[in-house]
A = this chain, B = another copy of it.
């Protein structure tokens, strides 16, 4: 059997070991396992890396546990504004969306842009008009309502600050993502996020930005980031790792470690990445990062805190 590798994340941040109950930990682990298994199944059946990362992200978007899709946090105005991006390492084609609402799976819209639009990045009302033309699934705004997230908004408003919260104060940087190498040697990356609780002003983070929160290139690696978007933009995280591999000959492991440890401020977040040989890394400099990985040569692993 040829090499395949797959990694997913469900956000990084100040996930407190103390506050993490056994019940909550089990729920997250089960959700990660489920998303991983569905995507692995695609790779096992001969599907592409692009299909696998889309499926993993869709699965997590449909879970209320993660800050993406159904579980997206509330903006200041009480809406859900979501961003997503996907990239194919073989063709360098990409699709990205920002500031969309009521679309059930933003990652499906991003993949449709990759496949069917001459553009790469669509945003706001225009992106939703494109989604309608392409028969992308919408949901009522009420579908995205979760009591838990609504309470987070009220708390954030009381504190009069913008929270990058995903899980109260326990998971500051909620995002989901997936990276994969398929049996054909192709890489792909996908990321989806609901942004920041109480955010205003149409803020766009790193998730939908090609080369920052999401990047794939068969020459080097596929990457999906999660964390404080502005830190990731300043450091050009995903493409920087790719360039350290391509131009300085760094391994994926050395390049990722260097960028996370030396170019990002402490507690910014983390990333998952896979290279063209199937190596997987999942470094982060926050307290925790929901993550899981599997390959044809290594059994499934699911982690929340530092190993």
* Interface residues, chain A, with chain B CB atoms under 8 Å away: 92-94, 98-99, 117-127, 129-130, 162, 200-205, 209-212, 229-230, 233-236, 239-240, 243-244, 247-248
Choice from B99, B122, B211 contacting A211 with Cβ under 8 Å? B211
**B233 and A126 contacting across the interface, CB-CB below 8 Å:** no
* Chain B hits for A123, CB < 8 A: 98-99, 123-124, 202, 204
User: Closest residue to A210 on the B side, CB-wise?
Assistant: B233
Copies of this chain, whole number:
2
A211-B211, A233-B121 known; A127 vs B202 contact (CB < 8 Å) = yes
Neighbour of A120 across the interface among B92, B94, B202, B233, CB < 8 A: B233
User: Which residues from chain B contact A129 at a C-beta distance below 8 Å?
Assistant: 200-202
A93-B234, A122-B202, A210-B212 given; 10 more Cβ-contact pairs under 8 Å: A99-B123, A99-B126, A117-B201, A119-B230, A120-B234, A123-B202, A124-B202, A125-B202, A239-B240, A244-B247
A201–B240 Cα distance when bound, in Å, is 30
Cross-chain contact of A124 among B124, B130, B236, B239 (Cβ < 8 A): B124
Q: Which of B121, B130, B243 contacts A247 (CB 8 A)?
A: B243
CB distance from A79 to the nearest CB of B (A): 11
A210 to B118, alpha carbons, bound, how many Å? 21
Determine the residue in chain B with the shortest Cβ distance to A200: B126
Complex CA distance for A93 and B235, rounded to whole angstroms: 10
Known: A211-B212, A211-B239, A243-B240. A122 touches B203 (CB 8 A): yes
> Does A121 lie within 8 Å of B204, measured CB to CB?
yes
- Min CB distance, A150 to chain B, in Å? 20
Q: Determine how close the nearest CB of chain B comes to the CB of A94; give it in whole angstroms.
A: 7
Find the B residue at minimum CB distance from A237.
B211
Query: Is B247 a contact of A126 with CB atoms below 8 Å?
Result: no
| Residue from the list B120, B200, B211, B243 in contact with A230, Cβ < 8 A | B120
Return 17 A-B CB contacts under 8 Å, by A number. A94-B233, A94-B234, A117-B201, A119-B230, A120-B233, A121-B233, A122-B202, A123-B123, A123-B124, A125-B202, A129-B200, A129-B201, A210-B212, A210-B233, A211-B239, A239-B240, A243-B243
Q: Collect the chain B residues with CB atoms within 8 Å of residue A239's CB.
A: 211, 236, 239-240, 243
Contact present for A201 and B126 (CB under 8 Å): yes
User: With A209-B209, A243-B247 in contact, do A203 and B119 touch (Cβ < 8 Å)?
Assistant: yes
Minimal beta-carbon separation of A187 from chain B (angstroms)? 15
